[in-house]
């Protein structure tokens, strides 16, 4: 898989819904009902971050949910990529991008949404064929005004801002011409996941899906 092919597939995934839930799940037993609630609410693209020991099992469980498109977030090493692909992830997300990580995703055929926070990082990825990127950490990097400014000289690049994105500020990102979708964790609050309050999560997903 080339960078161009990876970016084309990642762009198709990002165009599915305006918000991509960014999920930190500690208990694999909660994975399927959580994914079902988000999909039912209109958010089928799910990013499971590799930040918990259960993450790969969570991906395995969510990959079985009808209508879900499950990806692995926080990919950092080539081993992360192989493990995520084996667990059933259909795309990957990374906070940044290294040549090793890009090469591993291309070799494994795993479409990657690579992270960039500056014009130089974005241009390096563009030179390798990637034109769909994650803007991270979005709010800490200047928020929507910064992303709009980066887009002026680089209109051929599209972004999914993540990091500090909320229900209140998501519209300011989604209103930009260089933003396809945004990633956010507010649609699956930790307390709701712990309590198994899937109805609340489905309601939050429905609200986010209309942004």
- What domains can be seen in the chain, in order of their start residue? 3-206 (3.20.20.70)
Q: Is 189 left (phi over 0), alpha (psi -120 to 50) or beta?
A: beta
Opening angle at CA 94, ends 34 and 113, nearest 5: 85
| DSSP secondary structure code for residue 23 in this structure | E
What is the DSSP secondary structure assignment for residue 198, as one 8-state letter? H
Ramachandran angles phi, psi of 112, nearest 5°: -120, 140
- What is residue 22's predicted lDDT score, i.e. its pLDDT? 98
User: Tokens in use for 200?
Assistant: 């609340």
Q: How confident is the model at residue 30 (pLDDT cuts 50, 70, 90)?
A: very high
What are the tens digits of pLDDT across the range 34-73? 999 999 999 999 999 999 999 999 999 999 999 999 999 9
Per residue in 68-107, pLDDT tens? 999 999 999 999 999 999 999 999 999 999 999 999 999 9
The rounded mean pLDDT for the chain is 98
Q: Is there a catalytic annotation at residue 207?
A: no
pLDDT in tens, 111-145: 999 999 999 999 999 999 999 999 999 999 999 99
Q: What is the CA radius of gyration of the chain?
A: 16
Average pLDDT over residues 169-193: 98
First-to-last CA distance in the chain? 32
For 115, the 3-state DSSP assignment is strand
> What pLDDT score was predicted for residue 8?
97
Query: If pLDDT is split at 50, 70 and 90, which confidence band does 147 have?
Result: very high
Q: Is 148 part of the annotated catalytic residue set?
A: no
User: Which of these is catalytic: 36, 61, 106, 134?
Assistant: 134
Instruction: Choose, from 36, 47, 106, 202, the residue flagged as catalytic.
Output: 47
Q: What are the structure tokens assigned to 174, written together?
A: 């989604």
| Residue 135: per-residue pLDDT | 98
Whole-model pTM over 0.75: yes
């Amino acid at each position: 898989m080339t960078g161009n092919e990876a970016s084309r597939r990642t762009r198709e995934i990002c165009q599915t819904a305006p918000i991509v839930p960014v999920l930190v799940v500690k208990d694999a037993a909660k994975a399927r009902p959580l994914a079902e609630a988000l999909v039912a609410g209109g958010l089928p693209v799910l990013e499971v971050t590799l930040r918990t020991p259960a993450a790969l099992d969570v991906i395995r469980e969510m990959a079985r949910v009808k209508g879900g498109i499950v990806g692995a977030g926080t990919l950092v090493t080539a081993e992360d990529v192989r493990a995520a692909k084996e667990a059933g992830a259909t795309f990957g997300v990374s906070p940044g991008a290294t040549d090793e990580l890009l090469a591993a995703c291309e070799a494994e055929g795993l479409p990657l949404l690579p992270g960039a926070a500056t014009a130089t990082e974005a241009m390096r990825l563009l030179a390798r064929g990637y034109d769909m990127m994650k803007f991270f950490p979005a709010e800490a990097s200047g928020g929507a005004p910064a992303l709009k400014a980066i887009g002026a000289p680089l209109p051929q690049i599209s972004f999914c801002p993540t990091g500090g994105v909320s229900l209140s500020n998501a519209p300011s990102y989604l209103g930009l011409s260089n933003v396809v979708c945004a990633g956010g964790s507010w649609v699956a609050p930790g307390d709701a996941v712990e309590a198994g309050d899937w109805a609340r999560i489905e309601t939050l997903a429905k609200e986010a899906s209309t942004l």
